[in-house]
Amino acid sequence: MKSLLSSAAMAAISILVLAGCGDPSKSLAEAQPATSSELVAFSRESTHAIKLSRDGALLQRYCLNMSGADCPPDTIQVLGQFGFNDGETGIDLAYAFVLMAADAKDGAADQKSSDEDFIAATYRVTLGREPDAEGAAHHLASIQGKDIDARKALVLTFLKSSEFTSQK
């Protein structure tokens, strides 16, 4: 009898935990793209953990900027293929989106884009536009010949920009 109660208690706890976590794909499908006040908060907290069940608006912003449309249903699974796991930082999320956009730009699904394609993808994902020549040249100098940390630092620079936080 005791083990039966333990099993029932465990099942009840499991249901509560699942209900509390939410369904990330449902959250994403219902979310509207984040706008300036949400982006300001995200910018301040970009080194904090992202929860896909809570932050669908941010994902929708990146999809809208990247493709002009809502996120496709498989976005959460695709993010995993680009190295993002639920609970990682906002920088990691943006970086995964940039890798997706860079692969789409260069046509190779290998997560090994040129510095130029990476910069163009960073502009597209975070700001929703193509880079201007002067900005692209400046950012190219900051990442050229450097490692992943330099690329993530560039993404963070964009996330901290007033242009990112003022999107409507």
Give DSSP secondary structure letters for 103-125: HHHHT-TTS---HHHHHHHHHHH
Number of folded domains in the chain? Answer: 1
Query: Residue 143 is part of a domain; what is its CATH number?
Result: 1.10.3130
Contacts of 37 (CB under 8 A, 6+ apart): none
- Give the C-alpha separation, 96 to 5, whole Å: 44
In a domain, 6, yes or no: no
Q: What pTM did the predictor assign?
A: 0.84
In a domain, 14, yes or no: no
Mean pLDDT of 88-102: 97
- Give the C-alpha separation, 82 to 110, whole Å: 10
In a domain, 55, yes or no: yes
Q: What is the pLDDT of residues 115-166, one digit of tens each?
A: 999 999 999 999 999 999 999 999 999 999 999 999 999 999 999 999 999 9
Q: What is the pLDDT of residues 39-50, one digit of tens each?
A: 999 999 999 999
In this structure, what token pair is assigned to residue 27? 């959250």
In this structure, what token pair is assigned to residue 8? 């029932």
In a domain, 16, yes or no: no
CB burial string 72-86: b at 16+ within 10 A, e below: eeebbeebeebebeb
In a domain, 45, yes or no: yes
Q: 57 is in which domain, residue-wise?
A: 23-165
